[in-house]
């Protein structure tokens, strides 16, 4: 959909603070290394449920839900979302390893495992983000209401 | 060494996801989370290809665990789905989940087929 009032792309990109890009990169490295540590603790097998990736994606859902409730209810440092949300949690969670887990299970002839793992991850991650978001928002609003 | 390779891949993957989101939002707007869908589909295809075509653990650490792992995201995908629900757009939320799952699976199938062709 062409829009004449849209500025050129390089204006949009030049407006990105270098600090935000650095925060995303640094957070992405830390989150990915934490995910790797989890994979070392719970090694995956093609014919078994990939617990490490499941835990990373569900825990990451809890954290992003709580973080976004804090960021939408209060005013925080502008680098907090790039570092914690886009960087650390984006790097900690992974969609690609999730799809690889489904593919490996299918390749190993474990169709039930593939679909079970696929559905369990998406259901648990969505439930985690919703529960953490609403619980944190409720807490923040109660505390603010009590203080006012 | 493995840690450095993962870190190097992630140091590229995470900013690439951030910039892809900005570029797609620039052209398509922020009504639907196109950026996350794009990186998840691309990273899933590449990761499945690597999983079935590459045996070198160094390449796996750099490209699969590091690059694809940080390029793709489950947390942002989940939160953006919740955000669509919060906006009362249940249909778009369901479409977002379906698009990521179907897109990731389709890209994975392409990656798998390419890996088998090259093997």
Q: Tell me: the pLDDT tens digits for B71-102? A: 999 999 999 999 999 999 999 999 999 999 99
CA–CA distances in Å: residue B49 to residues A26, A114, B58: 27, 17, 15
Nearest to A64 by CA among B86, B66, B78: B78
Reduce the DSSP state of residue A3 to 3 states and report it. coil
Could you tell me if A105 and A46 are in contact, meaning their C-beta atoms sit under 8 angstroms apart?
A: yes
At residue A4 the predicted structure's pLDDT band, cuts being 50, 70 and 90, is: low
Structure confidence at residue A144 (pLDDT): 86
Arithmetic mean of pLDDT, A27-47: 96
Q: What are the two backbone dihedrals, phi and then psi, of residue A64, each rounded to the nearest 5 degrees?
A: -70, -35
**Which residues of B are less than 8 Å from A131 in CB distance?**
none
Positive/negative CA dihedral, B106, B110, B111, B112: positive
**A46: nearest CA partner in chain B:** B51
Could you tell me if A54 and B71 are in contact, meaning their C-beta atoms sit under 8 angstroms apart?
A: no
User: Assign residue A50 a region: left if phi > 0, alpha if psi is -120 to 50, beta otherwise?
Assistant: beta
CA–CA distances in Å: residue B85 to residues A66, A90, A121, B97: 16, 21, 19, 12
User: Assign residue A12 a region: left if phi > 0, alpha if psi is -120 to 50, beta otherwise?
Assistant: alpha
- The burial of A127, by beta-carbon neighbours within 10 Å (0-12 exposed, 13-18 middle, 19 or more buried), is given as middle
> For residue A142, how many C-alpha atoms fall within 13 Å in the half-sphere facing its CB?
6
Q: Does A87 touch chain B (CB under 8 A)?
A: yes
Is the per-residue pLDDT at B11 higher than 60? Answer: yes
- The residues near A50 (Cβ < 8 Å, ≥ 6 apart) are A44, A97, A98, A101, A117
The pLDDT tens digits for B54-77 are 999 999 999 999 999 999 999 999
Structure confidence at residue A95 (pLDDT): 98
Q: Is B44 annotated as a binding residue?
A: no
At residue A3 the predicted structure's pLDDT band, cuts being 50, 70 and 90, is: low
- The residues near B49 (Cβ < 8 Å, ≥ 6 apart) are B110, B111, B112, B114, B115
Q: Contact B76/A31, CB-based, under 8 Å?
A: no
Could you tell me if B79 and A98 are in contact, meaning their C-beta atoms sit under 8 angstroms apart?
A: no
Question: Residue B20 has which token pair?
Answer: 């892809």
Q: Does B73 touch chain A (CB under 8 A)?
A: yes
- From the list B2, B70, B108, the residue facing A99 with the nearest CB is B108
Residues 4-33 of B with CB under 8 A from A: 6-7, 9-11, 13-15, 17-19, 22-23, 26-28
Structure confidence at residue A145 (pLDDT): 82
Is the per-residue pLDDT at A148 higher than 80? Answer: no
Structure confidence at residue B98 (pLDDT): 98
Question: Residue A122 has which token pair?
Answer: 């998406």
């Amino acid at each position: 959909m062409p829009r004449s009032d849209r500025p050129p792309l390089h204006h949009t990109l030049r407006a990105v603070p270098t600090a935000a890009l650095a925060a995303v990169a640094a957070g992405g490295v830390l989150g990915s290394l934490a995910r790797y540590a989890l994979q070392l603790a719970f090694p995956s097998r093609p014919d078994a449920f990939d617990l490490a990736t499941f835990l990373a994606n569900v825990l990451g859902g809890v954290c992003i839900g709580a973080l976004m409730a804090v960021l939408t209810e209060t005013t925080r440092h502008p680098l907090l979302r790039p570092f914690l949300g886009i960087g650390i949690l984006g790097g900690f969670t992974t969609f690609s390893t999730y799809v690889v887990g489904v593919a490996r299970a299918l390749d190993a002839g474990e169709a039930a495992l593939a679909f079970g793992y696929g559905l369990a991850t998406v259901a648990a991650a969505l439930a985690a983000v919703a529960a953490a978001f609403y619980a944190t928002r409720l807490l923040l609003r109660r505390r603010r209401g009590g203080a006012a | 060494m493995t840690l450095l390779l993962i870190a190097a891949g992630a140091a590229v993957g995470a900013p690439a996801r951030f910039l892809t989101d900005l570029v797609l939002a620039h052209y398509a707007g922020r009504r639907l989370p196109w950026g996350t869908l794009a990186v998840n589909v691309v990273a899933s295809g590449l990761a499945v290809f690597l999983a079935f075509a590459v045996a070198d653990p160094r390449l796996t650490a750099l490209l699969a665990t590091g690059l694809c792992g940080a390029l793709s995201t489950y947390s942002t995908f989940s939160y953006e789905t919740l955000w669509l629900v919060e906006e009362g757009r249940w249909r778009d939320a369901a479409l977002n989940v379906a698009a990521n799952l179907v897109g990731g699976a389709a890209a994975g199938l392409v990656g798998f087929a390419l890996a088998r062709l090259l093997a």
